[in-house]
Structure 1
């Protein structure tokens, strides 16, 4: 028993460390937007690409990352992801212009897509009991919450002391330590070593997501009626349609559409997407607002986010206990209602309100983000066969990262296209409220169906 617990502890430490650097690089870059723009000559759309090149690649490749882990072994793919992430972070720190920085961020996304789903696979195998697994996932997500909380402040301090390049270079030693720790974790037997890779599905997913986000980012700059935007929209729609058709016809698809017959699985993926969209979208908007509209330094911006990010950490760590006490049904619904409440208070941004009025809304938004992610993760993983855990984890994280990429694109477009600024902010906040309430409704209906007709321990 003690040996099993020691092994579980090693797995949890190694996997949590990887999640820390993945989330750190999602949040830390937001406080560097103004310094990057000033140093590399980027406009708002360029900054959107700096943020989204990472999240978009991450989302596009997560399904293949999970499937690759199932095919050749989660530990092997996990280690490869860490090493790719370390090399890409070094390139980010040395980038001479914003275009090279975008390319390096793409490579970071490749590394993250390899390691994150495989980290959940390692956890899934190390913790076979559902309650233990839910607690472990809560710790894993909680470490991500710590990274989220530390990201803006750590980024502000690093930029203040060493410049914006240091926020990327700091990932290199952390990733290498994570790789060393992973060598002490036992290998997980591949679940499907003879399963062919779905190359067509992967390429279509990349085109569909990339074209969709490109249309949203560039539409505000080029005009929504521009020929290039119309062509991009047509390509995105065609790629999405072809992706669904290919996945429906393949015997072993990258994204098994049969997963979505489960209301728990479908609802978990949907609420993860919406949570990522509204949280990271507004995080990007607020970062630009504090630095551009109010003229705050990266350090002051990082400090301003503390009431938000600290509550993400707290919410992540208590989510497991709240899930066991109240069930995922009530917990996720309550989380999205908290989202809506917090966002309603952020309407004050449009009136150039004092900071304390804005900060009062941050705890509700942060706590909601913290509790939703691990609750939805545990619910989705309970609906997936262990043999397909990598693919299931890939779907979950792809949903979240896709939401993040769309959020940055949508809210950045609103900030660019709708003037004056206070009107754009109001539209963004009202959109976030509407999406939060929609997610609560979808989750409630889906879990009610499961409880009524089949019964489920996630409710």
Structure 2
């Protein structure tokens, strides 16, 4: 009787595991656990982890946008030509996007805390190198290193939050703060860049990262170690997956950047896209045959993962594309100073922060992540069309009113998509999942800037800007329909 009862229990356990794997392709079989888990940190430790993660993510988002308004001053100081100075932005974007996917997987293997600390140290030191750079070439080199460090910080910071807050409601509030920091940083970048450049010097854009990075490291020290891969999982390193993903993402990002400035039919651009395509095929084949792949392809069977990556691509294309376009428009067409240009973006910072912290998480709790994403994507598409009314002779208050809907609508999307994807993966895969989603977001931003730059470079700036805004609106609308029809329902 005991033997029969044991056999029945074993059979029921196996059946339950089979059903779980059928409904959740990312689930890990119980017989072969791949992580070591630690007890959930205390409330005080969790808050300290959240503060460190939010602080570092703010720096990452700020440095993606802070240099935009300062480019003319950098060009005058280092005399490298405006085309060369553009790589001060593009170098950061290239390294950031190309290494994000592998950085997320590395975070899961070595532990989020170790990966985040390493990224913070690299980011702080490379910021010092950027501020001290005596030439444009060395400044671009420093920005490449800074982007590489940022690519390690971003997925690790989100993985820390996923692991420190096992309770979904608390985790959603923490994610709302995290997304608020990133969105506010991106919106505050042009403001800070304009004010610092006008008041002191462009080099202080980078020097101010030194005390901020030190403060984030101080918060991280002493926090407990959280879930990470076992020694058996860490022993194997997927070199082919790493190299092929970096080549694919670097080729794709470089092709977008150079295509925007030199044309998408030029030989270097076509060669970079071809290399990206070939490397993508190598990556897919390599990962499908690996016993311990860097990025398990089963993750992409999750509709939550695929749709959040698509939504992230769309919303970053909108946000980065608009800030890039209007930064140029306000200075080159409306003839406003860098300081005024920066201040015009200030209300976006305030609105994004307030909406992320006070509204976004509550909205997800009330109507679900899918509906929140649909509302945000649809509202952002409408906001793109409102910007078609921007004219150079308009007073500043009208321009601010036209900009606010971009931040208000977009502020709903990133918290909702982050909550959806973090709720759909195990804690030990949080870094990889964050790397996938944020890689898609960075590629979306790079593509929008490249295409927008190509369209406005032809001579008629207003026409090129209008075409870009309409194209982004269509992309957002398609994403909204896909999320509403295909995303899992009412995740909270």
TM-score, normalised with respect to structure 2:
0.86
Q: Which residue of 2 aligns with 1:4?
A: 42
Runs of 4+ in 1 over 6 A off after TM superposition: none
Q: Which residue of 1 aligns with 2:400?
A: 359
Q: 1:344: how far off? A: 0.6
Q: Which residue of 1 aligns with 2:370?
A: 329
Q: Which residue of 1 aligns with 2:3?
A: none
Distance 1:142 1:222 in 2: 35
Distance 1:237 1:256 in 2: 19
Q: 1:386: how far off? A: 1.5
Indicate how the Cα distance of structure 1 residues 113 and 213 shifts in structure 2: closer, same or farther if over 3 A, else same: closer
Q: Which residue of 2 aligns with 1:377?
A: 418
Q: Which residue of 1 aligns with 2:27?
A: none
Distance 1:329 1:211 in 2: 32
Are residues 1:457 and 2:491 paired? yes
Q: Which residue of 2 aligns with 1:65?
A: 103
Q: Which residue of 2 aligns with 1:179?
A: 217
Match of 2:338 among 298, 307, 317: 298
| 1:382-393 pair list within 5 angstroms | 382-393=423-434
Q: Which residue of 1 aligns with 2:389?
A: 348
Gaps of 5+ in 1: none
Bigger-Rg structure (1/2)? 2
Q: Which residue of 1 aligns with 2:178?
A: 140
Q: Do the aligned partners of 2:244 and 2:283 also contact (CA within 8 Å) in 1?
A: yes
The residue matched to 2:69 in structure 1 has which SS? Answer: helix
Q: Which residue of 2 aligns with 1:213?
A: 253
Distance 2:180 2:265 in 1: 44
Distance 1:3 1:40 in 2: 48
Indicate how the Cα distance of structure 1 residues 5 and 231 shifts in structure 2: closer, same or farther if over 3 A, else same: closer
Match of 1:252 among 289, 292, 298: 292
Q: Do the aligned partners of 2:383 and 2:409 also contact (CA within 8 Å) in 1?
A: no
The residue matched to 1:457 in structure 2 has which SS? Answer: coil
Query: How far does the alpha carbon of each residue in 1:267-320 deviate from its partner, in whole angstroms, 9 at most, with x for none?
Result: 111101111122112211211222222332221111011232322212221211
Indicate how the Cα distance of structure 1 residues 119 and 218 shifts in structure 2: closer, same or farther if over 3 A, else same: closer
Q: Do the aligned partners of 2:256 and 2:451 also contact (CA within 8 Å) in 1?
A: yes
Match of 1:125 among 163, 178, 183: 163
Q: Do the aligned partners of 2:107 and 2:115 also contact (CA within 8 Å) in 1?
A: yes
The residue matched to 2:336 in structure 1 has which SS? Answer: coil
Distance 1:50 1:32 in 2: 10
Distance 1:127 1:113 in 2: 22
Distance 2:292 2:245 in 1: 16
The residue matched to 1:30 in structure 2 has which SS? Answer: coil
Indicate how the Cα distance of structure 1 residues 375 and 206 shifts in structure 2: closer, same or farther if over 3 A, else same: same
Aligned residues: 451
Distance 2:260 2:160 in 1: 42
Q: Which residue of 2 aligns with 1:29?
A: 67
Q: Which has the larger displacement, 123-132 or 56-65?
A: 56-65
Match of 1:159 among 181, 189, 197: 197
Distance 2:219 2:407 in 1: 30
Indicate how the Cα distance of structure 1 residues 353 and 244 shifts in structure 2: closer, same or farther if over 3 A, else same: farther
Q: Which has the larger displacement, 431-440 or 29-38?
A: 29-38
Alignment RMSD = 2.2
Distance 1:225 1:191 in 2: 44
Q: Which has the larger displacement, 191-200 or 351-360?
A: 351-360
Distance 1:407 1:206 in 2: 20
Q: 1:121: how far off? A: 1.8
Distance 1:25 1:306 in 2: 16
Q: 1:392: how far off? A: 1.3
Q: 1:3: how far off? A: 8.2
Distance 1:214 1:82 in 2: 25
Indicate how the Cα distance of structure 1 residues 429 and 185 shifts in structure 2: closer, same or farther if over 3 A, else same: same
Are residues 1:46 and 2:64 paired? no
Q: Do the aligned partners of 1:34 and 1:292 also contact (CA within 8 Å) in 2?
A: no
Q: Which has the larger displacement, 187-196 or 88-97?
A: 187-196
Gaps of 5+ in 2: 1-39
Query: How far does the alpha carbon of each residue in 1:362-416 deviate from its partner, in whole angstroms, 9 at most, with x for none?
Result: 1111112222111100100111012212211221222222222222222222222
Q: 1:51: how far off? A: 1.7
